[in-house]
Structure 1
Amino acid sequence: MDVATEYRLLIADVYELAAASRRTGEEIAGAVGQTAARWHVLSVLSAQPLTVSAAARRLGLARQSVHRVVNDLLAEELLATAPNPDHKSAPLISITTAGRSVLAELVRRGDLDRSERLSRAEMSADELARARRVLRTLLEALTEGAQERR
């Protein structure tokens, strides 16, 4: 097969892998009374406080959908708001201690689940690292091409 066909097949596999990962992620999150969307928002806000718009950009999602999830997490006190010195109407959103506890449990369960599944598939860390390098190289090639056309 030619390189373009192999690339299309790889992308189809990546989409299928992402869908399977989302499904199992929903199962893991559900066991902790959360959703995968909440898990993603908690995760992106765990590094530093962000506005809803900035969190949405990092997640590659619409601001409105992230805002809805943030509101739910604020109501459960897993997130908190703080004034934003750079923008009065867009507060900074940060993860609370309770939110960090929930995130830690999600990560613990997720890592255990993935480790068990990958072990059964006889996948090594080295194989995953090689696959990641290939994907990163493809990503760089695609984003360079997009930047050159601008």
Structure 2
Amino acid sequence: MSKAESYRLLVADVYELAGLSRRSSEQTAAEHGQTVARWHLMSVLSDQPYTVPAIARRLGLVRQSVQRVADELVAEGEVERSENPDHQRSPLYSLTESGRETLRKIVVDSDADRTQRLNRAGVTVAELDAARDTIRKLLAVL
């Protein structure tokens, strides 16, 4: 098999893995009344406040979709808006204590689920690290 063919098969497997992983993530998020989109936004805000455009850049999404999710999370009390000293028309968003607790619970449940699945697959940390190294090498040249 050629390198190009092996690469195509790897990419197909990565897409399939990403799709399956997303579906199981949706299930975990739903158990906490959330969606993966909300989970991702809360994860971005876990380390510091960001504007909607900055969140969109970090997630690789359009600003409008991030704004909609941010507004929903504000309405539910998981995220709060505050003035941005650097830009009057682009407020900062940050997690509330409720949002931090929701995110913590989702991550704990997700980690437990992933660990169980990885154990069933017999995958080691070294194998995961090697796969990640390979993918990062490919990302660097693409």
TM-score with structure 1 setting the length:
0.92
**How well do the aligned residues superpose, as a CA RMSD in angstroms?**
0.8
In the TM superposition, what are the counterparts of 1:108-127 in structure 2 within 5 Å?
108-127=108-127
Question: Partner of 1:18 in structure 2?
Answer: 18
Q: Given the alignment of the two structures, is residue 95 of structure 1 paired with residue 80 of structure 2, yes or no?
A: no
- Deviation by residue 1:111-133 (Cα, 9 ceiling, x = unmatched): 00000000000011111011111
Provide runs of 4+ in structure 1 moved above 4 Å: none
**Helix, strand or coil at the partner of 1:81:** strand
- Deviation by residue 1:68-90 (Cα, 9 ceiling, x = unmatched): 11000000111011111111100
Unaligned runs of at least 5 residues, structure 2: none
Question: Partner of 1:131 in structure 2?
Answer: 131
Question: Partner of 1:43 in structure 2?
Answer: 43
Distance 2:7 2:76 in 1: 43
- Deviation by residue 1:130-150 (Cα, 9 ceiling, x = unmatched): 1111111111111xxxxxxxx
Amino acid at match of 2:67: H
Amino acid at match of 1:20: L
**Helix, strand or coil at the partner of 1:93:** strand
TM-score with structure 2 setting the length:
0.97
Amino acid at match of 2:29: A
In the TM superposition, what are the counterparts of 1:57-96 in structure 2 within 5 Å?
57-96=57-96
Question: Partner of 2:27 in structure 1?
Answer: 27
Unaligned runs of at least 5 residues, structure 1: 143-150
Deviation at 1:2, TM superposition (A): 1.6
Question: Partner of 1:55 in structure 2?
Answer: 55
Distance 1:124 1:75 in 2: 42
Distance 1:85 1:4 in 2: 50
Question: Partner of 1:104 in structure 2?
Answer: 104
Amino acid at match of 1:89: R
Distance 1:61 1:15 in 2: 18
**Helix, strand or coil at the partner of 1:129:** helix
